[in-house]
Structure 1
Amino acid sequence: MIYLKKFTLLSEDVEYDMICSKKNIFNNLYPLRIFSEKEFRKIEFEPITIFYGGNGSGKTTLLNIIALSIKATKRSVDKKGELFEEYVKKCNHELINQDNCKEMKFISSDDVFDYLLDLKAINSNVNRRKDELVQEYYDYRNTSSEKTNLKQYEEIKNKYDSNRMTVSKYVRTRLRNNNIIQESNGETALDFWQQEIEDNSLYIIDEPENSLSAENQLKLKQFIEESVRFYNCQFIISTHSPFLLALHDAKIYNLDSVPVKTEKWIDLKNVKVYSQFFKELSEEFE
């Protein structure tokens, strides 16, 4: 089933007009130029569509643009700024089969982490520490650099991290038990996806492989394929996991290429690296 059929990003000309009108207002022009420089405008979706690329390729940005444009629900509201919102308003999309669509939802990797963290907190003091770190995060964000004691390395680092990280990442990197996910039930992260995904729905998912072992990534792959085949779901996914890139009949946009193009999963660089690695060690498996 397809609910989001097409999406059109801004052209270079439209972005140029925005830059000219806003250059004296905004120092940060994000998300302008990210996709126009890759000659990437028109996206046509299949029941499973994947955005592949390395860090900084724009995968997460693209998912956020699409989710905000179609008004997909999110667990947490993350303000991207006035320029980002204006960019989204100028994008075009085509939705179909809306009478059959129960929900359109955006799910980030932070959502999975928060779910796992909350479960662990039931029988530990992590929840208390998490709240303290959240408060610490906002305290540092609201503290000017001039008021920070520059003799204290940790304060400088915390101030810097609070400005460049999301609150979830800030908490995660500071929890003493940072391997909390690995110590929890190995099926818990997979359970999250099985609880979140319902029939007749559209899901925009950012790197679902996070927190999942290779075995559970394969289970998630099967679950997604069955949700499409039997339960009329549509998925738009960002990933570089070779297991999820192998999703049956997935349409893959390679955001590392210029111009952006669709490719078979076996032709992607990340998959080829894995393939070559195991070929070189094939004798070890005999």
Structure 2
Amino acid sequence: MSNLSWQYIRRIGLKRDQVPTFRHYPFNLPSLRTLEELELHPKVTFFIGENGMGKSTLLEAMAVAMGFNAEGGSLNFNFSTFDSHSELADYLRVIRGIEKPQDGFFLRAESFYNVASNIEEMDAEGGAPKIIDSFGGKSLHEQSHGESFFATFIHRFRGNGIYLLDEPEAALSPLRQMSMLTRIHDLVQDNSQLIIATHSPIIMAYPDAAIYEFTEDGIHLRALEETNHYIIMKQFFDDRKRMVHRLLEE
């Protein structure tokens, strides 16, 4: 991997000697049973894999260990609508770079509604400028899920920052996912580092990145063409009729 002086997070490690047991959640997840240390790409790191492999759990724990709210937002968001995050953050070691980021955000699809609600609540309390102004000025609740998500990418992510995204494709059309590649590149050019958990082969196609695939055998560094996501999608569109026929027969 290339190295940049402004890489904010260099590695993460699991304090294995402090883990009480690997028989219970979250430490019994395949990705965590063998995790020791993971080197992050200075620009973009992707966490991919099937559901239940632990990629979102690890991303959430990283965010909490770095000081972000478990439900998302910037470092000054401290609301909680539910307390469901795991204890993994307490056992993670975050190895930081020399430079400190000037901006940061943890964006997750499943709790973005709660972030939008918290913004409205804080703005209703008064004060200027309004928080929503940094998200484009239009209420996130008055936009579709995809529009509000994309407004956050475009307006709130200022650059010179660390950004953690959990399955952003959940709210984005394929065309918007392609547009997201452009925005990722803009942020990277502006001294930003991104860590993204995703199922989208479009998003993980960003070229200057590391792709870690979470499997039953642990975490493995992959090329895009080696990932199950890419292989399955390619097989489907190369022989769509035959595959659909087989699926419907089964």
TM-score when normalising by structure 2: 0.71
Task: Return the letter of the residue paired with 1:279.
Answer: D
Aligned to 2:28: 33
Aligned to 2:13: 8
CA distance in 1, matches of 2:195, 2:209: 10
* Equivalences for residues 187-202 of structure 1 within 5 A: 187-202=147-162
Q: What is the aligned counterpart of 1:242 among 197, 201, 209?
A: 201
Is the strand fraction higher in 1 or 2?
Answer: 2
Aligned to 1:169: none
* Equivalences for residues 119-134 of structure 1 within 5 A: none
Aligned to 2:55: 59
Report the alpha carbon displacement of residue 9 of structure 1 after superposing the two structures with TM. Answer: 1.4
Report the alpha carbon displacement of residue 96 of structure 1 after superposing the two structures with TM. Answer: 1.4
CA distance in 2, matches of 1:276, 1:6: 34
8 Å contact from structure 2 (residues 30, 217) kept in 1: no
Task: Return the letter of the residue paired with 2:89.
Answer: V
8 Å contact from structure 1 (residues 3, 96) kept in 2: yes
Task: Return the letter of the residue paired with 1:90.
Answer: Y
Q: What is the count of residue pairs matched by the alignment?
A: 205
Task: Return the letter of the residue paired with 2:228.
Answer: K
Stretches of structure 1 that go unaligned for 5 or more consecutive residues are: 21-27, 119-180
* Equivalences for residues 147-166 of structure 1 within 5 A: none
CA distance in 1, matches of 2:179, 2:37: 32
Aligned to 1:102: 102
Is the helix fraction higher in 1 or 2?
Answer: 1
8 Å contact from structure 1 (residues 225, 248) kept in 2: no
Aligned to 1:254: 213
**1:94–1:191 distance in 2 versus 1, CA, 3 Å:** same
TM-score when normalising by structure 1: 0.63
Report the alpha carbon displacement of residue 116 of structure 1 after superposing the two structures with TM. Answer: 7.7
8 Å contact from structure 1 (residues 52, 252) kept in 2: yes
Aligned to 2:225: 266
Give the fraction of aligned pairs with identical amino acids, expressed as a percent. 25
Q: CA RMSD in A?
A: 3.0
8 Å contact from structure 2 (residues 167, 198) kept in 1: yes
* Cα deviation digits, residues 212-236 of structure 1 (max 9, x gap): 100000001111122102x111101
